[in-house]
Structure 1
Amino acid sequence: MLDSLDTPLRLALVAEDPLARGALSRALSDQGGEGLTLAAAGTLAELESARTEPPDVVLWDVGLRLTGAEGRLEAPDLGAPVLALVPEEAAAELALGAGARGVLFRDAAPGALVAALRAVAQGLAVFEPTLSPVRVAPRASAPPTPPEALTPREREVLALLAEGLSNKAIADRLAISEHTAKFHVNAVLAKLGVQRRTEAVVRAARLGLVTL
């Protein structure tokens, strides 16, 4: 999570469409100047193999077509909050359900996009102003059940997940091997009953285990 608006922003851009990826990269680089470091790729796997530092925020262009017969989306999991660019309201709802922290339409102005990215990186939720409130309102659900108790080490790992650190960065911070860090991360996810790191942080915040 960024400390302030003046902190340099490490941005990961995931966009399958090469034309959209190129246009977004140019617009963000021009708008962000020296305060933004950008890594872009068409897929999550390509980005993970190319990046050297964990990002502060992920910009995810969902494209124009929804995946799967029923229309499903899966947010890229890089251990950082995700801002999704969507073509329509239906995709916005799916992106939020997939774990995105915020959504804007794909034609958002560069200045608004950079401001939204910084807000999401600081732990805020950002929504396209013209979206229907029904689309972005939290769905009613049963009170969350308390998770299985975390060990002291798992609580340390959870706190570092909330900072958006990768497994390698967690290992370096705790002076343990990356393999051990991954083991603890998986244990945290299992005890919180989630599959992705971003979901773990959100659930932990709701349970009062971390502060965003």
Structure 2
Amino acid sequence: MLDAPSSSPRLALVSEDPLARGALARALSDQAEAWTVVAAGTQEELEAARGEPPDVVLWDTGLRLEEGAAPDLGAPVLALVADEAAGELALGAGARGLLFRDVAPGMLGAALHAVARGLTVFEPGLSHVRAAPRSTAPSGAPGPDTLTPREREVLGLLAEGLSNKAIADRLAISEHTAKFHVNAVLAKLGVQRRTEAVVRAARMGLVTL
């Protein structure tokens, strides 16, 4: 059994749904040991604010998780997922622990303590889940097979001059996910700016200007 922490653990609570954030905060406050919620909001809001790192991040992935990155707040992440598919995506995105969204408050508190100490935690029903494979850029010059189908779509929209928000609207994804895909395209093409990505892609025959 893990030793009790010497002080109240600092928690960042990430969820796109304000009702879910409120329910989780109440569930943790009802426990005998107090939690200090130092930040609560959407992933985009908290990553933009970038305050002092918490001890652990509780990430409610919602009912449908798209490919993306776990909250980058300088602390290990415990993800709450709706199903096994979301668990695979959350692991691939960088989560250190997985629980179902309807987890009991007692198990949630124990798992948060464990993840804060650097342990990996799986609810029994998710113990067999493995991270979904993610595309990585090969060494050497990038080629047409470097980009995923979704990244090719994003690249085509970049060539049209669309902003991240416009890309998100066109593909029916969140703006945060659109930004993630844009950054992946830039990294795989070895450029820093969107215009450079379009020019390089045109030279490689990936887009037509």
Cα distance change, pair 138–92 in 1 and its aligned pair in 2 (3 A): closer
* Alignment of 1:136 onto 2:136: no
Deviations 1:28-48 (A, max 9, x none): 1121543x2113433234235
Cα distance change, pair 137–99 in 1 and its aligned pair in 2 (3 A): closer
Deviations 1:122-152 (A, max 9, x none): 010000101252x23798xxxxxxxxxxxxx
Mapping of 1:3-82 within 5 angstroms?
Answer: 4-7=3-6, 8-31=8-31, 33-34=33-34, 36-48=35-47, 52-67=51-66, 72-82=67-77
The 2-side partners of 1:19 and 1:124 are apart by 29
Cα distance change, pair 51–127 in 1 and its aligned pair in 2 (3 A): same
Task: Give the match for residue 102 of structure 2.
Answer: 107
Deviations 1:78-115 (A, max 9, x none): 11000000000000011000000000000001110010
Q: Is the 8 A contact 1:89 1:132 kept in 2?
A: no
Bigger CA radius of gyration:
2
**Aligned partner (choices 104, 108, 119) of residue 114 of structure 2:** 119
The 2-side partners of 1:128 and 1:49 are apart by 31
RMSD: 2.6
Mapping of 1:122-201 within 5 angstroms?
Answer: 122-131=117-126, 133=128, 135-136=129-130
Cα distance change, pair 22–40 in 1 and its aligned pair in 2 (3 A): farther
- Name whichever of 14-23 and 42-51 sits farther off: 42-51
Task: Give the match for residue 80 of structure 2.
Answer: 85
Structure 2 runs not aligned, ≥5 long: 134-209
Letter in 2 for 1:65: R
The 2-side partners of 1:24 and 1:105 are apart by 13
With a CA cutoff of 8 Å and minimum separation of 6, indicate the structure with the bigger relative contact order.
1
Q: How many percent of aligned residue pairs carry the same amino acid?
A: 69
Q: Is the 8 A contact 2:92 2:131 kept in 1?
A: no
Cα distance change, pair 103–119 in 1 and its aligned pair in 2 (3 A): same
Cα distance change, pair 136–42 in 1 and its aligned pair in 2 (3 A): same
Letter in 1 for 2:130: V
Q: What TM-score, normalized to structure 2?
A: 0.57
The 1-side partners of 2:131 and 2:61 are apart by 20
Structure 1 runs not aligned, ≥5 long: 140-212
Q: What TM-score, normalized to structure 1?
A: 0.56
